[in-house]
Structure 1
Amino acid sequence: MTLHAALPAPVRRLANGALLRAQQQPWAQQVGLCLRVAAGSHDEPPAYPGLAHFLEHLLFLGSRNHSSDQGLMAFVQRHGAMVNASTQARHTDFVCEVPAELLQPVLRRLLDMLCQPLLDSEAQLREREVLHAEYQARSQDADSRIDHALGQALAAGHRCGAFLAGDRSTLAVESAEFQRALRAYHQRHYQAGRMCLTLVGPQPAEQLLDIAEALFEALPVDEGDACHVPTLDLLPLRAPRLYLQHSRPGIHLGVAVQLQTRNLRASLDVLLDTLHDPAPGGLLAGLRELQLCRQLQARVLYQHAGQCLLRLDFTAASAEQSAALRAAVQRWAAQLQGDAAWPQRLQHQQRAAALRLFGLSPLAAARALQSPAQDDSHTLRDLNSLLACLARGDGLIELQCGEQAQPLWPAIGLDLPLQTLPPVSSPAPIPSHPWRLPGNDPLLCGAAVASAVLPLAALRHHPGQAEGGPAALYWRGPCSGAGDSAAIEAGLLARSADLRWRGERLGITCQLNVQAAGWSLSLRGPASLLPAFSALLVPLLLAAFDQPAEPAAQGMLLRVLLQRLPQLCELPRASRLEGLSVGLGASEQAQLAELCVAVEALADLPSAPCSETRIDWHQVAQPGTDAALLLFCPLPAGDVCTEAAWRLLGQVLQGRFYQRLRGELQLGYALFAGFHQVEGCRGLLFALQSPVCEAAGIFDHIRAFLREQWQALAALDDTALSRYRDALLPALSPAKANLARAEQLWQLHLAGLPEVHLQRVQQALTALTQNDLLQAHEQLLSASDWRVLASGAPSLA
């Protein structure tokens, strides 16, 4: 296997200071780009928390050469691609993944919106309401509150202790001082010398760089001082032990470190990789043996230059165990500081990282390449310094979460029911433990892996593309556990957690879903690893179990509903193991055949039956003040002409849905509209999360929106219709990349459709007229099968 992604990415530094980096993925069909501006929320004026995040939003609302309906967002949406942005503490990222031929017009629009925004006053007033809604949701998010609580332990004045999302009270858009601050921030930081662009696509890297350079070289040389706001010290801690009133009791440790070094990223990568490793001898295995926790989750909350703040979560740990956990982590760090096996561990981690990069999408790879490799000697030196700090414990924060009421802490931007705990009088006694670094993973080393024999399987193999790339392997099997699908899924996820971590570490992306009809698993990654990994994971999913599992942590409400959407469209019950592969070579296919007792050809599932109900409403109770709703409208008929017309209708409606419900009505900030497949059922999906409207009201707004669209559809001319048709055609062509082709084939299998189905829909699409589109709209409004998944009850009217 050739790891193209492991090669250094070519770099160009332009005369105006802009940095360009590119890498080729010969198997890709899309180009991923990540443009990073080296300024974020910690660089904004302290008088206006959220200003940087606010500016990120405003940039999408019109620029000198492109109005909002012709700008980047509208252009990308018209072509069925994706665009997004995020504001972090020390940088702001703008990302896109688009068809390769659109790179130049996308970059042109991106640069225009970044460098020449309109910053219209009316648009600012509207967008402030969007940010206020986002602020309210983030302020109630359980994880965000824990992150913010850990920030309170840091030295006074450090901006990690402030909640910088921005709301109505901090974004004083009517103020002349705010407007001056907004424009000054933009002028100071949105300059060529503060920009780094990474590109990943099918073109040769030098060609990608040439396209970017032709546009970026026109940007003026930086003028004025663009220095960051001075960084205050993280240490000493002002509150090493804290108690947060929280709905989920638990123990969390923060690790604040401040070193004299340029960049801790590579050292933190090795440290987190080692902390998570469940292999014998490691920290997690030792904590389990000592019965201190079941799982350990570590992540970086903040990292800039030589400063970092880590968060460590310990599943199933109690307040009584907090002192012992703290002592165990410190002893582990002290024992492994300077260990002779670290250089080998670093090499092992780097090989695993190269495998992960190989399997990433163009966009994910472009994001990853924003952090280039570092010198190994510096990495190991800084790693030992991190371990020394952890062993001393001078930056260690203990956060206990529980349901006891607490007074409000004077935090910036967010009220926290939080208070300090008294210092621990004496160190906690803990049994000695032989800590050591986990060994190399046999999967990575190519060693033989013991595996169980799989039962009778129905398999289908498709060859990969000539250019290579990651392979895909799909499995579907019956559930052996008892209980509802959510409980079974939680149990299977808990049982397979260690193995799935091993796979994801080596570039194997695992996605497991459980429904009443059975479980489905998709594996994507290096072809040489997928058969052996399947031999380890699939038997775990087929075996009967009865152990209880903790409910999964609740995330964003709309994502929770999307995860449960398949319950609206159940497949026929699985009675045996079924598999489909794309991109496996002959030797890997032979490996799979050897694992099974017997193999037969995979037959398509029967087509999904149509329901006869008018509105099938399912309510999912969720905590929080936001409401969310998914409306799924299945196709009224299975012929290719109907599907082509509904796909085109979804393409037209998605931009209008965003403009109407988010831009004009300001109902919410998270929404989706378009053609979608749920299990084996195809149709149109509309989704919205709102902080200002109940579920029944969301449904009324979506229904009103759909009814209002006839006039706009009737006004479409041939040019506009052709533009929407052309944007759909690539998605209906047989994909060239292994992963995209595998997803197409698996979805066709679940829908009981032949492989030529998409080509037939494509042919039907080219013949569609405006009358066909209007007929599809009428079918949608008069459909006898609307399915709703919502956080609330329907209206009584």
Structure 2
Amino acid sequence: MPALNHPRPHSETLANGLRVTLRHAPDLKRCAAALRVAAGSHDVPLAWPGLAHFLEHLLFLHTERFPAGQGLMAYVQSHGGQVNARTNERTTDYFFELPAQALAGGLERMSDMLAHPRMNPDDQQREREVLQAEYVAWSQDATAQQQLALFDGLSETHPLRGFHAGNRDSLPVSQPEFQQGLQDFYQRFYQAGQMTLSLAGPQSLEELKALAQGFADAIPAGSPIAQQAPAPLMSALDNSYQQVDAHRLHLLFALEALPDSSADALAFLCHWLNSAKPGGLLAGLRDRGWVTHLKAAPLYQFAGQALLHVEFTRNADTPPVAIREQLLDWLGFFARQDWSALSSEYAALLQRQQQVSTALQLARLDNEQLEAGLSEQGATALKQVLNQIGAVDNFSGQWQLPTPNPFLRSDAPAPNAGLIRGQTSAHRGLRTFAQDRSRSRRERSPMQFSQALPEMGAHGAVYLRWRLDAAPATHLQTRLENHLQTLREEARQAGVDFSFTASGNEWLLKMTGLQEPMPAVLEHALKALTKPEADVSPDAPTPPALMPIRQLLKALPDHCLEPIAYSDDLQQLWSSARWDGLAIGLSAQTQAAMGLALSRIPGTPDSQLTPPPSSPSHYLWSTFDTGSSEHALLLFCPSASEAIADEAAWRLLAHICHTPFYQRLRVELQLGYAVFSALRQMHGQTGLLFGVQSPSVAPVDLLQHIEQFLGGLPQMIRDIDEGSFIALRQALADQFASAVLPNAQAAELLWQGTLAGRSSDYLSQLPEAILLVDRPTLIAAAQRLKQAEDGWRCLSSGSCPGSPWQVTK
């Protein structure tokens, strides 16, 4: 088994009061910074609800040193990274991820925006309107309102019962008193003593410490401030309550005066509560026909307080009191067990998660300062938690501790190397990538073993695609995904993310992560997927609706395919299926171990699966009912051809558009709070994707604003000076260097390249093609894009506006 990242990062407090955690992880491709300010929405003056959230937004606006287009957000995006922030009850987090060589520039910009924010009145007025749009969407979102309603049983004096999002009424930016309150909050909390900076990356500890010190030098010195303790969660007579609707039971437990290790204890408890394995609470309730799903999680933790939420999706005829009794009975059983074996497995899965975590995930994890398992202090805290919840002493259920996760064990059986080359007539032709180097060879293996990413080390990726005679019916797909839920969770705990998705008449099974467990995970997944339909789990409850723009993003791949008949006959679908696949970065040992699973793939191997038909070159409009009063629109603009030169030009267009598009539609026009542009590859087809969600602007008007932006794109490219143009092009090409390209992203690029018919050296060809895109070529591409010469496809919550747009079926 590969060496683990060190479970504990280096921690210290610098001279100005800034606390830092530094994690040297040499296997990381990127690095990340996560800054936590110990102040959140519950720390603001009662007169100005939403002030903390408002300040978080303001800090991302330009500063004198880094004006618009040069600040942190633009800088991170120009390097292909990610950046965001979040205001919590008692903390505010700012975080980003970048290639290692760009970390210093990111930290420089983040420290500048924190230490020297521009809070002029015009900026505040504009940003308040953004919060107003968010508030309108939040107030109309059923899921958000249900989440807020969970606090209704708490004491009215506790801040969880208050309003903290901020809107036009709660943020009177023109009043001097508000401005004074904003400045007081900023000066009190935004100083080094209230901050923790976590850095994670491949750099040495000495390099990371130097970067942290450079950040600290720009932040005002200070000391920690004691945040005011909140009122009790509930009255002394009660410590729990419930909420019931037609299909769900919510049980909430208010916990007080918990020790410091209670966060670790609650995480440990919720992990085992959520287990669906035989003998556990969920399995027992399912066997009785009472419950289909269970989810336990702490909704709030601060200063020794915690609010534990246990949600059951139940049969409407089941009395809530019976479910509660079973919960307390299981908790009584759990409290009497020896937790040593469970603690060992829990520590193992946390270590596996660290192995597959990105730099950003590790940096944010380090800010939480959790243990790498259940310590003695955590076990003591867990006993106190169970006692406060009311776990019974005389439990009566026939409960069992869950069986160990099979994918966490490294003692896998010795592989039979002879199977990898296919010993059956159905699977003849499986071979390694090294044995298939001849590009002139016509024959292709249905499963390609690519070594294009040998630097993936302990990681790998597997893609299996089936082409079906019909599209799987929605309810069938839902049942299959539900059937895989427990297996998917066990695989995730062992370091393998896998999904089984349908798009048109294709199924795709994708696995990414640690390659060691992959052969066993694949074998279990194939067995589960080929069971008779009668054995498939019943329909899962309808999940909460996504925000409109996310609904459109989820639906878009299907809308880029031609309509096809549906089928709910699982066996017929498998019997007529044809499959191919791609395995990336797998060692010879893992390839051999995967031989048995590959020999059991249902369907017929087919090395000549053709790509799905591309959209014709005209204006296609699809309407999608999001069930929301908010408006949303996606515009997908395919590249001129499948040639890699056109893909390179489209990628450079996307790179140049990203910040100006956001600046124009989100900041200047304030059309909505969800505004983005990006390059997307779907079914091997490269395209530019523009998206906007707005509370008030209709889709046809959103489209007009996008068209206006595209109309000015050729001139925007002409106006870029030569030095900046070369730097932009180089920055984009650098994002595809093997040393910085994250494993999962590289694997996805190779899979999309396979679908598009790219050669095995696609990842080396792509940056070379980008560097060959000159200004005239890019302007010509922008003209084609502007004039929709290669077709536009729109997916929207609104109806088709008419000519030249055509409604799709």
Compared CA separation, residues 126 and 239, structure 1 to 2 (3 A): farther
Compared CA separation, residues 79 and 526, structure 1 to 2 (3 A): closer
**Alignment partner for residue 705 of structure 1, among 703, 709, 712?**
709
Compared CA separation, residues 317 and 447, structure 1 to 2 (3 A): farther
Compared CA separation, residues 150 and 570, structure 1 to 2 (3 A): same
**Alignment partner for residue 250 of structure 2, among 249, 252, 273?**
252
Give the distance between the partners of 1:481 and 1:447, measured in 2 at CA: 41
Equivalence map 1:188-337=2 (5 Å): 188-222=188-222, 226-236=225-235, 249-318=247-316, 320-337=318-335
CA contact (8 A) 2:296 2:310 kept: yes
Equivalence map 1:527-676=2 (5 Å): 527-543=515-531, 545=533, 549-550=539-540, 551-570=542-561, 575-597=577-599, 603=607, 606=610, 609-676=613-680
Task: Please give the secondary structure, in 2, of the residue aligned with 1:433.
Answer: coil
More deviation, 608-617/489-498:
608-617
Q: Who is 1:379 aligned against?
A: 378
Q: Who is 1:520 aligned against?
A: 508
Given the alignment of the two structures, is residue 794 of structure 1 paired with residue 800 of structure 2, yes or no? yes
Q: Who is 1:409 aligned against?
A: none
Cα deviation digits, residues 208-256 of structure 1 (max 9, x gap): 2222123314533216x73313321112278965668x8x842222222
Cα offset, 1:368, TM superposition: 1.3
More deviation, 764-773/630-639:
764-773
CA contact (8 A) 2:671 2:697 kept: yes
CA contact (8 A) 1:359 1:469 kept: no
Task: Please give the secondary structure, in 2, of the residue aligned with 1:294.
Answer: strand
Give the distance between the partners of 1:732 and 1:382, measured in 2 at CA: 47
Q: Who is 2:727 aligned against?
A: 723
More deviation, 90-99/295-304:
295-304
Give the distance between the partners of 1:467 and 1:761, measured in 2 at CA: 19
Given the alignment of the two structures, is residue 476 of structure 1 paired with residue 465 of structure 2, yes or no? yes
Give the distance between the partners of 1:175 and 1:604, measured in 2 at CA: 69
Question: Normalising by structure 1, what TM-score?
Answer: 0.89
Cα offset, 1:502, TM superposition: 1.2
Cα deviation digits, residues 728-767 of structure 1 (max 9, x gap): 1023444665433322211111222112334334333323
Q: Who is 1:156 aligned against?
A: 156
Equivalence map 1:51-450=2 (5 Å): 51-222=51-222, 226-236=225-235, 249-318=247-316, 320-339=318-337, 341-374=338-371, 376-391=375-390, 432-446=396-410
Give the distance between the partners of 1:705 and 1:488, measured in 2 at CA: 42
More deviation, 472-481/109-118:
472-481
Cα offset, 1:594, TM superposition: 2.3
Q: Who is 2:569 aligned against?
A: none
Cα offset, 1:297, TM superposition: 1.6
Task: Please give the secondary structure, in 2, of the residue aligned with 1:286.
Answer: helix
Compared CA separation, residues 773 and 140, structure 1 to 2 (3 A): same
CA contact (8 A) 1:60 1:68 kept: no
Letter in 1 for 2:347: Q
Q: Who is 1:406 aligned against?
A: none
Compared CA separation, residues 390 and 578, structure 1 to 2 (3 A): farther
CA contact (8 A) 2:239 2:254 kept: no
Give the distance between the partners of 2:456 and 2:206, measured in 1 at CA: 18
CA contact (8 A) 1:496 1:540 kept: yes
Cα offset, 1:137, TM superposition: 1.7
**Alignment partner for residue 687 of structure 1, among 687, 691, 697?**
691
Cα offset, 1:288, TM superposition: 1.1
Cα deviation digits, residues 596-624 of structure 1 (max 9, x gap): 33899985754554432521111111112
Letter in 1 for 2:796: A
CA contact (8 A) 1:604 1:753 kept: no
Letter in 2 for 1:143: T
Give the distance between the partners of 1:756 and 1:688, measured in 2 at CA: 35
Compared CA separation, residues 196 and 470, structure 1 to 2 (3 A): farther
Task: Please give the secondary structure, in 1, of the residue aligned with 2:68.
Answer: coil
CA contact (8 A) 1:475 1:520 kept: yes
Cα deviation digits, residues 369-415 of structure 1 (max 9, x gap): 2123447111001111111222269xxxxxxxxxxxxxxxxxxxxxx
CA contact (8 A) 1:605 1:749 kept: no
Compared CA separation, residues 444 and 179, structure 1 to 2 (3 A): same
Give the distance between the partners of 2:217 and 2:547, measured in 1 at CA: 40
CA contact (8 A) 1:14 1:217 kept: no
Task: Please give the secondary structure, in 2, of the residue aligned with 1:144.
Answer: helix
Given the alignment of the two structures, is residue 763 of structure 1 paired with residue 768 of structure 2, yes or no? yes
Give the distance between the partners of 2:587 and 2:606, measured in 1 at CA: 18
Q: Who is 1:407 aligned against?
A: none
Cα offset, 1:461, TM superposition: 2.1
Cα offset, 1:588, TM superposition: 1.5
Compared CA separation, residues 601 and 762, structure 1 to 2 (3 A): farther
Question: Normalising by structure 2, what TM-score?
Answer: 0.88
Cα deviation digits, residues 531-564 of structure 1 (max 9, x gap): 1011111332344536662444312221121111
Give the distance between the partners of 1:553 and 1:450, measured in 2 at CA: 44
> Could you list the runs of 5+ residues in structure 2 that have no partner in the other structure?
431-445, 565-572, 804-809
Give the distance between the partners of 2:414 and 2:525, measured in 1 at CA: 12
Number of equivalent positions: 755
Cα offset, 1:357, TM superposition: 1.4
CA contact (8 A) 1:630 1:685 kept: yes
> Could you list the runs of 5+ residues in structure 1 that have no partner in the other structure?
394-429
Give the distance between the partners of 2:327 and 2:366, measured in 1 at CA: 31
CA contact (8 A) 1:276 1:284 kept: yes
Compared CA separation, residues 337 and 609, structure 1 to 2 (3 A): closer
More deviation, 560-569/44-53:
560-569
**Alignment partner for residue 751 of structure 2, among 746, 749, 754?**
746
Cα offset, 1:497, TM superposition: 0.9
CA contact (8 A) 2:193 2:225 kept: no
Task: Please give the secondary structure, in 1, of the residue aligned with 2:735.
Answer: helix
Give the distance between the partners of 2:151 and 2:609, measured in 1 at CA: 52
Percent identical: 33
Task: Please give the secondary structure, in 1, of the residue aligned with 2:517.
Answer: helix
Cα deviation digits, residues 480-514 of structure 1 (max 9, x gap): 99753x43432221111111111122222223321
Cα offset, 1:112, TM superposition: 0.8
Task: Please give the secondary structure, in 2, of the residue aligned with 1:666.
Answer: coil
Cα deviation digits, residues 628-651 of structure 1 (max 9, x gap): 111111112222332222211111
CA contact (8 A) 2:637 2:792 kept: yes
Task: Please give the secondary structure, in 2, of the residue aligned with 1:152.
Answer: helix
CA contact (8 A) 1:343 1:380 kept: no
Cα deviation digits, residues 106-135 of structure 1 (max 9, x gap): 101101101211111110000001111111
Q: Who is 1:462 aligned against?
A: 450
Task: Please give the secondary structure, in 2, of the residue aligned with 1:795.
Answer: coil
CA contact (8 A) 2:329 2:395 kept: no
Compared CA separation, residues 264 and 125, structure 1 to 2 (3 A): same
CA contact (8 A) 1:34 1:367 kept: yes
CA contact (8 A) 1:4 1:25 kept: no
Q: Who is 2:498 aligned against?
A: 510
Give the distance between the partners of 1:731 and 1:653, measured in 2 at CA: 16
CA contact (8 A) 1:154 1:238 kept: no
CA contact (8 A) 1:470 1:738 kept: yes
Task: Please give the secondary structure, in 1, of the residue aligned with 2:167.
Answer: coil
CA contact (8 A) 2:330 2:395 kept: no
Give the distance between the partners of 2:391 and 2:396, measured in 1 at CA: 18
